[in-house]
Structure 1
Amino acid sequence: MNTNNFNAKVTLVGAGPGDPELLTIKALKAIQAATVLLVDDLVNADVVAFASPTARIVHVGKRGGCKSTPQAFIEKLMVMAAREGENVVRLKGGDPFIFGRGGEEVEHLLAADVEVEVINGITSGLAAVTSLRVPLTHREHAHGVVFVTGHSHPGSQGADWRSLAVAVREAKLTLVIYMGVSGAARIQEQLLTALPAATPCVIVQRASLPDQRQAVTTLGDLTQTIAREKLASPCVIVIGDVVKGVAAASCAPAVRVA
């Protein structure tokens, strides 16, 4: 193996929301060329299947509410494999730089004198509404979009939902919430301080996959809808006037199991 650190390199690859046909050509080439792949839990097995039969595949699960591989251990594996001359791909669901901890990994790799390349993937917050033929921005309904996580970092209070609610209302923004199902009651309560209960919402589970499910509702009925339809992680919650277009686009019924 090549132990020359100068040649050490890791590629962070966005595997997209699940549908393997949504991979970019660049991501596909990187996966096929890898000799070592460190794969997150939410990456579809059909995406991993593009890897070379001789590649070493290491599953480093990271999913909210489940036992996860420590981040420090993942970073150590990347550095070790790269220094051994392996063609290392860190395969992440969605996009590495949207709630994928890609920024932390880039910082760690560069500090270890390991070259890094990042290949973007389609994030689930975009794929979720696209599957319903609804945009995140619209000249008449939304002048911008905010991506935010509903999962608080240990020791952090998380997002300021009251301030976000004001921004959504005053600036006509679409709010896209990742990892928000477990904290939906708190999020709903705080958003209702500045947004009407009738504000349109859609919850999309397993966006882009054959078993995708979604429920169209309102902010006032958000938690009740999640409970009634038994929607669970991984889900994306989208809030804002663009959701009115779900019905207008003549999509599937409010809840669909493909």
Structure 2
Amino acid sequence: MNSGYGKVYLVGSGPGDPELLTIKARKLIDSAEVIVYDQLPGEAILQSMPETAEKIDAGKYAGNHKLTQTEINDMIVKKAEEGKNVVRLKGGDPYMFGRGGEEAEKLVQAGIDFEVVPGITSAIAVPAYAGIPVTHRDHASMVTFITGHEDPTKKETGLDWENLARFPGTLVIFMGVKRLEQNMNALKKYGKSPTTPVAIIEKGTHPDQRITTGNLENIAEKAKKAGVKAPAITVVGDVVSVHDILGMQEVVWG
């Protein structure tokens, strides 16, 4: 590693509730010289970034990316080469569908020292705040995390919908709002019961989080009528039924 370079921290900010930031993440944000961020950490965390830091909006909004992933990679390398300590602030956990692995590979190629700071993944925290444990002794002993929106440049899907439909545990789907109907149809096509419970949780862990429940057959129509929007996590499986018992807790910050 070049001793004249700064260091890059790939920091997971958790699912949005600022009190779910790790102590290490908070310290690094507060002392950062440069912060490269997108919208997923949420306004409360973004507003807490220090005035002294150079803040760069990487802006990954649905269908409107201010910087491409290649440009983000180049930006964090450039700032580190300037001798700056850089926080690449990401929602959830950097390596859970956060493209942190790609950024880390780029840093290794450039000879830049880096550190990964894990964050609480929304895959577990968002359902938990909605009263849905992703595993439960009576309902599911396994859980799998999948992306609901793959790289559009891929010629073929990397998701094995046939095996996913047969999977007896909980499915947690990231970024699946736009393709909700197609994803639910894929599961039904390969034999998953249309009555399988489904929940979509918007803005999870935020005070204005919203939960739409249904089943494999009707959740797409329910989501359309409710005007469900990203960011949202979709949970498929019998654990969703526990929401009726545990889902009465109000989300309050502070």
TM-score after normalising by structure 2: 0.92
Give the Cα–Cα distance (whole angstroms) in 2 for the partners of residues 153 and 163 of structure 1: 20
Give the Cα–Cα distance (whole angstroms) in 1 for the partners of residues 130 and 182 of structure 2: 27
Give the Cα–Cα distance (whole angstroms) in 1 for the partners of residues 198 and 18 of structure 2: 27
- Of 42, 53, 71, the residue aligned with 2:40 is 42
- Of 229, 233, 238, the residue aligned with 2:235 is 238
Q: Which residue of 2 aligns with 1:191?
A: 187
Q: Which residue of 1 aligns with 2:10?
A: 12
Give the Cα–Cα distance (whole angstroms) in 1 for the partners of residues 127 and 14 of structure 2: 14
Give the Cα–Cα distance (whole angstroms) in 2 for the partners of residues 133 and 48 of structure 1: 27
Identity of aligned residues (%): 40
Q: Which residue of 1 aligns with 2:174?
A: 178
Q: Which residue of 1 aligns with 2:126?
A: 128
The alpha-carbon deviation at position 58 of structure 1 amounts to 0.6
Q: What residue identity is the alignment partner of 1:26?
A: K
Runs of 5+ unmatched residues, structure 1: none
What do residues 75-129 of structure 1 show as CA deviations (whole Å, max 9, x unaligned)?
Answer: 1111111111111000011111011000000000011001110111112221221
Task: Tell me if structure 1 keeps the 8 A contact 2:130–2:201.
Answer: no
- Of 73, 76, 84, the residue aligned with 1:75 is 73
Q: Which residue of 1 aligns with 2:56?
A: 58
SS of the equivalent of 1:121 reads coil
Give the Cα–Cα distance (whole angstroms) in 2 for the partners of residues 232 and 66 of structure 1: 15
Q: Which residue of 2 aligns with 1:218?
A: 215
Map of 1:111-126 to 2, 5 A cutoff? 111-126=109-124
Q: Which residue of 1 aligns with 2:23?
A: 25
Please give the root-mean-square deviation of Cα atoms over the aligned residues, in Å: 2.0
SS of the equivalent of 2:97 reads coil
Q: What residue identity is the alignment partner of 1:217?
A: G
Q: Which residue of 1 aligns with 2:162?
A: 162
Q: What residue identity is the alignment partner of 1:189?
A: N
Matched positions, count: 249
Give the Cα–Cα distance (whole angstroms) in 1 for the partners of residues 235 and 6 of structure 2: 40
Task: Tell me if structure 1 keeps the 8 A contact 2:94–2:119.
Answer: yes
Give the Cα–Cα distance (whole angstroms) in 1 for the partners of residues 63 and 249 of structure 2: 30
The alpha-carbon deviation at position 45 of structure 1 amounts to 2.6
Task: Tell me if structure 1 keeps the 8 A contact 2:196–2:238.
Answer: yes
SS of the equivalent of 1:220 reads coil
The alpha-carbon deviation at position 32 of structure 1 amounts to 0.6
Q: Point out 4+ residue stretches in structure 1 off by more than 4 angstroms.
A: 4-7
